[in-house]
């Protein structure tokens, strides 16, 4: 393996995270190689119970990969999606995850906006023409149905990219997103540090 950290300030081991209020998908890259990936689901009857569970499980995740010495994490930046409650809950989850990472010895934290890594892998938003074509092929649906359909098409495109790029079969779109975030990070570390 080539020690890339000699040539830049890029850490040799990076964990990429795609978190939601219910789960955390992750990928680990060491010296630009994908070495592990997976998903953790959070349990609890309230947002606060899930936060506590998230912290415990993320600490366990870092302990399980202690031999890789994860130096940095890259997390998908929180995006406001129409619901202040969801945005606040996601911010709490990410705070819990970052706290667990810090306690585990992670030295660097970076974030990337979803549209940034999606554009990098060639998974841009659908054009107006593409949206109209879908509506023409599948007429009579609600606006929310079309938005869900378009979102699913993009998720499948990310899964396909990961299958081709890394020769792995992923059927979970959160895990494929985490790998794509890591792919962006290992190829654009300097952009993440600015």
pLDDT digits (tens, 9 = 90+) for 83-137: 778 778 888 888 888 888 888 889 999 999 999 999 999 998 888 999 889 899 9
Whether pTM > 0.75 for this model: the answer is yes
Among candidate residues 183, 27, 175, the one with its CA nearest the CA of residue 116: 183
194 pLDDT more than 80: no
**Helical packing angle, 143-166 and 173-187, nearest 10°:** 60
Q: How many residues comprise the chain?
A: 194
For residue 136, what are the contacts with CB-CB under 8 A and spacing of at least 6?
none
What CA–CA distances, in Å, run from 171 to 135, 154, 188?
26, 14, 26
CATH topology for 4-123+169-192? Answer: Nucleotidyltransferase; domain 5 (3.30.420)
- Average pLDDT of 65-87? 82
Return the pLDDT at 93: 86
| pLDDT of 81 above 70 | no
Contact 146, 161 (CB under 8 A): no
- What residues have CB less than 8 Å from 58, skipping those under 6 apart? 24, 40, 96, 97, 100, 101, 104
The answer to whether residue 31 scores a pLDDT higher than 90 is yes
Q: Comparing C-alpha atoms, which of 101, 28, 30, 17 is closest to residue 60?
A: 101
Write the secondary structure of 40-71 as one string of H (helix), E (strand) and C (coil): EECCCCCHHHHHHHHHHHHHHHHHHCHHHCCC
Question: Taking each helix axis from N to C terminus, what angle separates 128-137 and 143-166, rounded to the nearest 10 degrees?
Answer: 110
Rounded to whole angstroms, the Cα distance separating 14 from 73 reads 6
Q: What are the backbone dihedrals phi and psi of residue 129, each rounded to the nearest 5 degrees, phi first?
A: -65, -40
Does residue 77 or residue 112 have the better pLDDT? 112
């Amino acid at each position: 393996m080539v020690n890339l950290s000699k040539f830049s300030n890029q850490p040799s081991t990076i964990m990429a995270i795609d978190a939601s209020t219910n789960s955390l998908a992750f990928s680990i890259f060491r010296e630009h190689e994908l070495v592990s990936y997976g998903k953790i689901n959070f349990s609890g009857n309230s947002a606060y119970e899930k936060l506590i569970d998230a912290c415990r499980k993320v600490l366990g995740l870092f302990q399980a990969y202690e031999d890789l010495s994860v130096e940095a994490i890259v997390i998908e930046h929180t995006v406001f999606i129409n619901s202040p409650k969801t945005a606040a809950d996601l911010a709490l989850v990410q705070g819990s995850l970052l706290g667990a990472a810090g306690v585990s010895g992670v030295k660097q934290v970076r974030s990337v906006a979803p549209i940034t890594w999606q554009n990098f892998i060639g998974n841009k938003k659908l054009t107006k023409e593409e949206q109209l074509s879908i509506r023409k092929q599948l007429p009579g649906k609600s606006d929310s149905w079309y938005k869900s359909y378009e979102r699913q098409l993009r998720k499948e495109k990310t899964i396909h990219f990961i299958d081709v790029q890394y020769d792995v079969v992923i059927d979970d779109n959160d895990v494929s997103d985490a790998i794509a975030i890591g792919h962006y990070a290992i190829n654009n570390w300097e952009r993440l540090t600015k």
